[in-house]
Structure 1
Amino acid sequence: MKFLFQLLSGWPLPLLHALGSAVGWLAFLLSPTYRRRFLANAAQAGYGFAQVRSAVAQAGKLVTETPRLWFGAPPRVSWDGVEAIEALRAQGRGIVFLTPHLGCFEVTAQAYAQRFGAITVLYRPPRKAWLRELVDTARNRANLHAAPTTLSGVRQMLRALKAGDAVGLLPDQVPPQGLGVWAPFFGREAYTMTLPARLVQQTGAAVLLAWGERLPGARGYCVHVRPWEGALAADASQSAAQVNARMEELVRAGPTQYLWGYARYKKPRSEALA
């Protein structure tokens, strides 16, 4: 599998995205479960299929662009709102980036690492050993560090923030049992991580919202950055609701690039934490 990823990493982005469009539609047409979840999640947010139809192809592009992002040359990236990052770095503050399953979330952390320096991203280690090894070797690039969804991973993120570095989270990812609370997301209760508020409370870090938009014609990406307005509540349920509300705002800014097929409303699973 690593050989295949390395082979695909040399393909030009337009070709990878063309392949991804086909992969996305095949998955949508051949998997009734995926299709039902895609349509149900979009409807929950108030979107008809015609409004988010292109998100089918975008989901496939997410898959086929990954080899390029993990093993290939860095793609072209532009920035929108980079001043918010520069202001916080000038203050020496740690930054917590919150990014939903929107657009190319891999490129947001990579672009930050290339331009600004160290960033630690939270990820869930794959269950299969061969895939775990692939992910571990691919994601740990210069200035880009991966922290697993364990207590040791949380401690790694705390150390980074206290050193004035950045961390990145996908707060619309369902956390393991015991690491979240139920909070509304597009009007339906979803199990939501409480980690963002805890990181801020324990380190005094600032929060920024970010997502990586795929530009038309495979011309690269644009990383959009927005400041967090107000303060995160100390109460876990209130802060989770705040985070979900902000994620909703980002999704509505680019609904055709949201991963509507993600099982956002599933029940959390029990995992051993270490």
Structure 2
Amino acid sequence: MSRPVFRAALLAPRYWLTWFGFVLWWLITQLLPYRLQMFLGRLVGRLVGRLAKRRTAIAQRNLELCFPNLNEKEQAALLCRHMEAIGIGMFELGIAWFWPRWRLEKLVTYEGLEHVIQAEKDGVGVLLMGMHFTHLDCGGIFSTLALRLDGSYRQHANPVYDWIQRSSRERFNRDNMVIERRDVRTMVRQLKKGRAIWYAPDQDYGAGHSIFVPFFGVNAATITATSQLARMGKAKVIPFTCLRKPEGGYIYKVSPPLIDFPSGDVEADTLQINHVVEQAVLQAPEQYLWVHRRFKTRPEGEQDLYEQAGIAPGKRQ
């Protein structure tokens, strides 16, 4: 996929409101101190929790399903912290896209980069396995600051948003390739070349290419592509987490490569992936993206878990 190219058509009047929004967003993230942005993010998150009732209800349902050991008061407190994390994530997205390298480097502490660096030295491809936390793009931009890697990508419908998104994500890693997430052939080719690819397999992408394995004890449609890509690309799967610290800033931690993966047993491999995600989520459950309908796809004949809770079906997420 070629690099994003600015076109005069992006300045058409129908995009002026988009440009205004991005200029305002840029000014906020550049001028306000980090701690003030985190404080404002918590306030925005509380407001979102009151206004975005359906999304809040989805998050509440997910927490009920995944943490049945928590009582009602504990679940409510976790939901409140999660909505605050959603608000903070709006500011963190601007930080990830617009801050210069020197400011970003002050925010992050790295652990375990040697696992990816060693694979590169050995000429072995890497699926750098991330997860959908509320500050997803912070994890992505911190990856590009420290590592040479390609990224998976989903094109945005608004061409201005798409151009800014791609340009911002690629600005620190000029030799990378952005791969459309369904382009398996290109992913495999890059892995065989010994490249690392950022990859997140932890959302519900429907029944196609998925099997049902437990996620926090609930059967969840989980894609099997992780083991397939690792097998076809002769690559290692190396998980990483990027978590916001209570005092501010982020800890970016790379784990050792998964052992004996792929194993040849697709179900066991897919279950292992969900287990890795679970262990990451438990470190900071409020920071995980619970507003996604992780259990929207159900086995044949099983009732929709969200409709059971009175949540109406929505558009594809």
TM range (shorter): 0.7 to 0.9
| Aligned pair partner of 1:25 in 30, 46, 61 | 46
Instruction: Find the residue that maps to 1:10 and give its secondary structure.
Output: helix
The answer to whether the aligner puts 1:221 opposite 2:255 as a matched pair is: no
Corresponding residue number in structure 2 for 1:66: 93
| Aligned pair partner of 1:79 in 90, 96, 110 | 110
Corresponding residue number in structure 2 for 1:141: 171
Q: Distance in 2 between matches of 1:267 and 1:134?
A: 32
- Asked whether the 8 Å contact 1:98–1:207 carries over to 2, the reply is yes
Corresponding residue number in structure 2 for 1:39: 60
CA drift at 1:176 = 5.4
- What's the TM-score once normalised by structure 1's chain length? 0.86
Alignment of 1:1-274 (within 5 A): 1=18, 2-11=22-31, 12-46=33-67, 47=70, 48-51=75-78, 53-74=80-101, 75=104, 76-102=107-133, 104-117=135-148, 119-143=149-173, 144-151=176-183, 154-175=184-205, 178-218=208-248, 220-227=249-256, 228-267=258-297
1:149-185 CA distance string (max 9 Å, x none): 222xx33322321221211112112225523333221
- Asked whether the 8 Å contact 2:132–2:289 carries over to 1, the reply is yes
Q: Distance in 2 between matches of 1:13 and 1:37?
A: 29
Structure 1: where are the runs of 5+ without partners? none
- Asked whether the 8 Å contact 1:120–1:147 carries over to 2, the reply is yes
Structure 2: where are the runs of 5+ without partners? 1-17, 299-313
CA drift at 1:52 = 5.4
Q: Distance in 2 between matches of 1:89 and 1:30?
A: 47
Comparing both structures, which one devotes a greater share of its residues to strand?
Answer: 1
Q: Which has the higher contact order (CA 8 A, sep 6+)?
A: 1
RMSD between superposed Cα atoms in Å: 2.5
Instruction: Find the residue that maps to 1:240 and give its secondary structure.
Output: helix
Q: Distance in 2 between matches of 1:103 and 1:80?
A: 21
CA drift at 1:202 = 0.8
Q: Which has the larger radius of gyration?
A: 2
Aligned length: 266
Instruction: Find the residue that maps to 1:216 and give its secondary structure.
Output: coil
Identity %: 25
1:8-45 CA distance string (max 9 Å, x none): 34133223222221221111122221222111111222
- Pick closer, same or farther for the CA change 1:129–1:116 going to 2, 3 Å: closer
Structure 1 outlier segments of 4+, above 4 Å: none
Q: Distance in 2 between matches of 1:49 and 1:81?
A: 35
Q: Distance in 1 between matches of 2:270 and 2:281?
A: 16
Moved more, 35-44 or 223-232: 223-232
- Asked whether the 8 Å contact 2:60–2:79 carries over to 1, the reply is no
Q: Distance in 2 between matches of 1:9 and 1:50?
A: 28
- Asked whether the 8 Å contact 2:140–2:169 carries over to 1, the reply is no
- Asked whether the 8 Å contact 2:59–2:79 carries over to 1, the reply is no
